[in-house]
Amino acid sequence: MKYFMFVVEDPTAEPYVPEEDNIGAWVEEMTARGVNQKGDRLRPASEAKTVRIRSGETLITDGPFTESREVIAGYDILECADLDEAIEVASKHPMARFGRIEIRPFWIWE
């Protein structure tokens, strides 16, 4: 089953400890297991553009689609057996500790 993983910054998370950042090991393990299909860090939210068309006019604003303390810092597309495996994979990502992770099942468009 496919899951979309949002890697999110969270000001209430634990302080960052560079020596305990295991992102390299996480990518290596999840790639070897065939779980991680694609993923990337994203440029900071301050560089996001949000596009809305209202009354025929194109409105482009700087920043993400919603104002919140938590902002999306990256994403991964996972292929997992079930939600339990997706949770296990997410919990091992360094940003589960230094931020938070959302996982959402795909809803394949027929």
Partner 1 sequence: MEYLMFVVVDPTGEPSDESPEAWVEELDAAGTRLHGDRLRPIEDATTVRVRNGEVIVTDGPFTESKEWIAGYDLLECDSLEEAVAAAAKHPMARAGAVEVRAAWPIDLGDSPESSPAREAAQ
- Write down the least CB distance from residue 100 to partner 1, Å: 5
46 binds partner 1 (CB under 8 A): no
Strand partners for 9: 71, 99
Q: With binding defined as CB under 8 A, does residue 35 bind partner 1?
A: no
DSSP 14: P
- Min dist. Cβ of residue 16 to partner 1 (A): 3
Q: Indicate whether 99 belongs to the interface with partner 1 (CB under 8 A).
A: yes
Using CA atoms, how far residue 99 sits from 11, 27, 59, 91, 102, in Å, is 7, 17, 31, 11, 10
Residue 44 near partner 1 by CB under 8 A: yes
